[in-house]
Amino acid sequence: MKPVYIINGFLGSGKTEFINFTLDQPYFQSSGKTLLLLCEEGEEEYDPYVLKRSKTIVETIEEEADFTPEKMVELEKKYHPERIIIEYNGMWQLQRLYEQMPQGWMIYQEVMIADYNTFLSYNTNMRSLMVDKLTSCEMVLLNRAPVGADKMEIHKVVRGVSRRTEIGYDYVDGNFDYDEIEDPLPFDIEAPIIEIADADFAVWYRDLTEEMEKYQGKTVRFKGRVVTKHRSLKNCFVCGRHVMTCCVEDITFMGLACTGYSPEKLENGGWYTVTANVNIQYSTVYGKRGPVLAVSACIPAEEPEQEVATFY
């Protein structure tokens, strides 16, 4: 397997500077070649000495359409690299990269590089691209951060997409540290009944589906819209909310399988406050194991003030 390092981020964020620095470190030296795929050219240039010393060959991929398995295999056969680094164009969707990755190439690490001073404006103006870059990266590195930088707003943006991504700050005075802001869940998972506020549904749903086992046997109470008419529903119903991750185009209904309560008693599409015990088991609703709610109460409720749930 060829290890692939993906360095993503927008133009001017410092990707080239980061890769230059990394290639020059002793821990990144190897006897074999490194193939660096450059998907956009910024103002910063690679140091020829560093490239020679690290046995790095640079190939430019000018168009997104040129990023094909055939092209990548051709380059691999030409250079026989020990590893591949991809400086990815921030305006290209990562999904295409994943889909075009040749067989035998394995993503070893994915890092997003961002300029502290422009991160929030990019998030405001190009939210869907920001979410695309944050979703799967292991770390976000904020360059050019001022001493005493305010971390909270950036923390909220990153955590709105991923609870696993590390956040690091590279300061203008040469120091570096990690975001260590505590990120407790906005509800008490140890309570006899875990009460989910309307504003916390998206965070709870993601936590429940990512760490299902910790909810096994827990009792929850939340408000959602019910679905009683669907071919996958047999003696059960679904209760959930529409959730927006980044923009209007990605709004998706995220529902949970519910049993133990007659669907005939419910209005399809109506809002209800559900109290239920969580069991992790197979369900035809998911086509696999997932959280199945054994409902003890289902009470008609008012529509929440914000119908579409968000992460922050």
Nearest to 277 by CA among 289, 266, 299, 292: 292
pLDDT at position 30: 73
How does residue 232 score in pLDDT terms, banded at 50, 70 and 90?
low
Mean pLDDT of 280-299: 94
User: Which residues are registered as beta bridge partners of 309?
Assistant: 243
pLDDT at position 64: 92
Distance (Å, rounded) from C-alpha 180 to C-alpha 42?
32
Cα 87–chain centre separation: 19
Distance (Å, rounded) from C-alpha 63 to C-alpha 153?
34
pLDDT at position 233: 74
pLDDT at position 41: 79
How does residue 249 score in pLDDT terms, banded at 50, 70 and 90?
low
Cα-based angle 87, 90, 95 (whole degrees, multiple of 5): 90
pLDDT at residue 120 above 90? yes
Tens-digit pLDDT profile for residues 162-182: 878 999 999 999 999 999 998
Q: Which residues contact 139 (CB under 8 A, 6 or more apart)?
A: 111, 112, 165, 166, 167, 168
Mean pLDDT of 36-61: 90
Nearest to 293 by CA among 238, 241, 252: 238
Quickly list DSSP for 258-273.
EESS-GGGS-TT-EEE
Distance (Å, rounded) from C-alpha 21 to C-alpha 12?
16
**Whether this model's pTM surpasses 0.85:** no
pLDDT at position 248: 65
How does residue 270 score in pLDDT terms, banded at 50, 70 and 90?
very high
pLDDT at position 246: 62
- The mean pLDDT value of the chain amounts to 91
Share of residues in the chain with pLDDT > 70 (%):
98
Kindly tell me the sign of the dihedral angle through the C-alpha atoms of 168, 21, 82, 4: positive
Tens-digit pLDDT profile for residues 131-157: 999 988 999 999 999 999 999 999 989
Cα-based angle 149, 155, 161 (whole degrees, multiple of 5): 150
pLDDT at residue 190 above 70? yes
Cα 10–chain centre separation: 17
Distance (Å, rounded) from C-alpha 203 to C-alpha 185?
8
Whose tokens are 């959602």? That residue is 224
How does residue 254 score in pLDDT terms, banded at 50, 70 and 90?
very high
pLDDT at residue 312 above 70? no
DSSP state of 65: G
DSSP state of 97: H
Q: Which residues contact 196 (CB under 8 A, 6 or more apart)?
A: 187, 204, 220, 221, 222, 223
pLDDT at position 72: 94
Nearest to 268 by CA among 304, 237, 299: 237
